Amino acid sequence: MQQRLSQIQGVGQVSVGGSSLPGVRVDVNPTQLNSYGLGLQDVAAMPQPAECHSPKGQITDDATSADITTNDQLLKAADYMPLVVGYHNGAAVNCPMSPTSRTPRKTCALPVRDGKPCVLIIIFRQPGANIIDTVDRIRAVLPALKASIPAAIDSEIVMDRTLTIRASFATSSVI
């Protein structure tokens, strides 16, 4: 979204704040793993989850086609369970996991809106650009951007500084 928004005429900078990529940490005891005849390379070689936003299929007729999509994104460490890293004497060897962030040194907390963690996208206009025209162009692309993100993600405009500007133009034309 940041890249697409920054390409809009009149947009000078797009900042993303409060984001932290989710991740799952696999806790490995190398000594215990070795006792099962497995090594760290076996854990590293585990298949990665397939791209969860890929279309699952397609419906096509003579005039149109539509992708079949679903939101099968794994959101919690428990969704990955059981995580089998190999087999020893015919029994599966599992590794414990815990939720984490891909940026564990991040020190700020996620912003929260209506009790849910959120990511802020802050858009600044280019110097000299007409702010009303720029906001109108941004609002015009928002439906396409919303369609390109998973359905489980809500998006909303929480602040639009052009409302007061628009109101002042509306009242000045009446005088």
Q: What is the CATH number of the domain that holds 152?
A: 3.30.70.1320
Q: What is the CATH number of the domain that holds 54?
A: 3.30.2090.10
Look at the pTM and tell me if it is higher than 0.85: no
Angle among Cα 144, 148, 151 to the nearest 5 degrees reads 110
DSSP for residue 98: E
Q: What is the pLDDT of residues 114-159, one digit of tens each?
A: 777 778 889 999 999 999 999 999 999 999 998 888 887 888 888 8
Instruction: Judge if 147 and 129 occupy the same domain.
Output: yes
Instruction: Judge if 112 and 166 occupy the same domain.
Output: yes
Give the total number of structural domains in the chain.
2
Instruction: Judge if 74 and 89 occupy the same domain.
Output: yes
Q: What is the pLDDT of residues 39-55, one digit of tens each?
A: 888 877 765 554 455 55
Range(s) of the domain holding residue 65: 22-103
Which residue type sits at 86? G
Using alpha carbons, select from 118, 125, 148 the residue that is nearest to residue 17. Answer: 118
